Chains A and B, each alone.
Chain A
Amino acid sequence: MKHKHDCTHLLGSISDYVDGELDEALCQELEQHLAECPDCRVVVDTTRKTVTLYHESTAEPAQVPDDVRQRLFKCLNLEDYLKRGEG
């Protein structure tokens, strides 16, 4: 029961831990628990991997399709500046 209680209790710290923003005392408590609890280790590792995958999947600069950009400039009355780099 204690084991389950620790898992649930520490669940709230996972996000801060993954971001490296957990305060020292809690970090120690969590790491001590992780050393003894394989399930929680998997949860932490796969949470970190989840965040990393989303970072990697959106690593390229975000682009607006040309037709969308043209309509955007038109609705803002900025057609004079449609040529990229102008102004």
Chain B
Amino acid sequence: MSEVFTEISLQALQAGDRAEFARMVDAYSGPIYRLALKMLGHEQDAEDVLQNTFLKALQYIGGFEGRSSLSTWLYRIAANEALMLLRKKRPEIEMTDTEPEDEDLSDYVPTQFVDWCCLPEDEMLTAEARMQLDRAIQILPGKLRIVFLLRDIEGLSIQETSQALNLSETAIKTRLLRARLKLREHLSAYYGERLAQRSE
């Protein structure tokens, strides 16, 4: 994504060049929409986040100082929009999302020890398996989900994820670890069952 963006002129964007803004929208709307959709699990909500992200970008592009890349800046706006919507829509869930950022991983100790890596590749990504992958993301608390999506789906570095979420790199690493461990547990239950069915 950043490769596409190098062709887009920040100077033109800040001068109000609408054609350049349209090119930026086309370059980034796909990843931003995907992020919102996987974050919220709802098409209309994802579209709202998409629109609000670019409306805010249009509004604030003049003040963008380039401390991060333009793509990280857009992800930052989108992440804030998505988290705000999530808190608004599901306050009962997100309000309980107050885990400490310390090293205590007692809630994340693995319980599944089936080695499902040997399943054939074509069985790992069937339509049903992809639904399980999406469902597992939705089970994550919002603050873990956004870190996982930015880092492991959108491919941001730890530093870029830290900039996008305005969190320390240590906090990002802690949340990423917790997200990955939770997803591994969930997927182990699913793929473990597939494995058991094969050996029956």
Contacts and interface: CB of A to CB of B under 8 A. Distances in A.
A87 B23 contact: yes
The interface residues of chain A, by DSSP majority, are classed as: helix
A25 B18 CA distance: 53
22 contacts: A11-B105, A11-B181, A12-B103, A12-B105, A18-B180, A42-B113, A42-B114, A43-B184, A47-B180, A47-B181, A49-B116, A50-B187, A51-B180, A53-B125, A61-B30, A62-B31, A62-B34, A64-B50, A68-B50, A71-B51, A72-B54, A81-B19
Interface string B100-133: 0001010011101111110000001100001001
B188 interface: yes
A17 to B, nearest CB: 10
Interface residues of A, number: 41
Contacts of B188: 46
A16 B173 CA distance: 8
Contacts of B97: none
A26 B54 CA distance: 43
B75 interface: no
B92 to A, nearest CB: 27
Interface residues of B, number: 45
A8 B109 contact: yes
Contacts of A53: 124-125, 133, 187
Contacts of B167: none
Contacts of B20: 87
B25 A50 contact: no
Nearest to B112: A46
A46 B108 CA distance: 15
Contacts of A77: 18
A47 B116 CA distance: 11
Given A12-B177, A42-B113, A81-B18, 6 more contacts: A8-B109, A11-B181, A50-B180, A58-B34, A76-B51, A76-B54
B30 A11 contact: no
A81 B162 CA distance: 34
Interface string A50-62: 1101111110011
A33 to B, nearest CB: 14
B153 interface: yes
Given A8-B105, A14-B177, A55-B152, A46 B30 contact: no
